[in-house]
């Protein structure tokens, strides 16, 4: 079971990392459009629509990735002090009360929304000659389905935690700097850092 959970984690992570490259493309595109508009006096009417679609795709497809890393925002002022079983019980209740109905509605409505868009080959009406947006709308049910799959994984994790009293492990990914791990990787000890302090010139000593 744990192997299956981690396999789905890897799928969510891979999709999130692939779509994360859109932020680089979006940055380059914005820079080029600003240069083209103000330096070359040659704006592109479709640029705003394409930028919105790129950012929307990035935002939606990062949902399952963020959930797989337990990175969604929560009011954990008290949650962090709860024992694992209580955390799992709360999470499980919230998944069934809000997450599952909301994400199923997103995927179903998104499918209908995208199907209608494909049927009429919808284009953007923000500008006179807008780009096609039906491929972009296909992202909605795709993101909803992937988020639902990852949500089922999290539900299984909650059940496992209720049984064992400990949260199952998650796949590793890029995280904030862990000072302890950094010291270990570069073979630096606290006493070595303390020795370097004698070479630091403190403000009060510099005036003596």
pLDDT tens per residue across span 139-186: 999 999 999 999 999 999 999 999 998 988 886 665 555 555 655 666
Give the chain's domain count.
1
Give φ, ψ of 34 to 5 degrees: -65, -45
pTM of the full predicted structure? 0.76
Residue 27 forms part of a structural domain: yes
Q: CA 122 → CA 53, 132, 137, distances in Å? A: 14, 6, 10
Residue 206 forms part of a structural domain: no
Residue 127 forms part of a structural domain: yes
* pLDDT for the residue numbered 114: 94
Angle separating helix axes 139-164 and 100-120, nearest 10 degrees: 160
The average pLDDT across 45-60 equals: 90
Higher-confidence residue: 55 or 185?
55
The average pLDDT across 39-45 equals: 88
* pLDDT for the residue numbered 129: 74
Token digits for 15?
Answer: 């999709």
The answer to whether residues 57 and 139 touch, using CB atoms and an 8 Å cutoff, is yes
Residue 33 forms part of a structural domain: yes
Q: What is the pLDDT of residues 65-122, one digit of tens each?
A: 999 988 887 766 777 788 999 999 999 999 999 999 999 999 999 999 999 999 999 8
Burial (CB < 10 A; 0-12, 13-18, 19+), residue 111, is middle
Range of the domain at 61: 2-176
Residue 153 forms part of a structural domain: yes
Residue 135 forms part of a structural domain: yes
* pLDDT for the residue numbered 13: 92
* pLDDT for the residue numbered 125: 81
Residue 39 forms part of a structural domain: yes
Number of Cβ within 10 Å of residue 120's Cβ equals: 8
* pLDDT for the residue numbered 177: 53
Residue 8 forms part of a structural domain: yes
């Amino acid at each position: 079971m744990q192997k299956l959970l981690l396999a789905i984690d890897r799928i969510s992570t891979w999709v999130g990392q692939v779509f994360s490259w859109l932020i680089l493309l979006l940055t380059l595109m914005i820079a080029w459009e600003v240069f083209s508009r103000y330096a070359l006096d040659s704006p592109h009417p479709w640029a705003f629509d394409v930028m919105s679609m790129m950012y929307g795709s990035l935002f939606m497809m990062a949902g399952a990735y963020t959930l797989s890393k337990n990175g969604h925002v929560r009011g954990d002022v008290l949650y962090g002090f709860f024992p694992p079983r209580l955390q799992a019980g709360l999470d499980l209740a919230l998944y069934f009360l809000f997450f599952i109905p909301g994400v199923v509605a997103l995927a179903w409505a998104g499918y209908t929304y995208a199907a209608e868009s494909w049927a009429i080959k919808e284009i953007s009406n923000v500008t006179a000659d807008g780009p096609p947006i039906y491929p972009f709308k296909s992202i909605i049910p795709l993101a909803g389905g992937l988020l639902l799959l990852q949500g089922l994984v999290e539900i299984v994790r909650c059940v496992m935690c209720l049984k064992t009293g400990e949260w199952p492990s998650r796949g590793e990914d890029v995280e904030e700097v862990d000072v302890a791990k950094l010291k270990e990787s570069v073979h630096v000890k606290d006493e070595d850092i303390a020795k370097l302090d004698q070479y630091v010139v403190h403000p009060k000593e510099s005036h003596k």
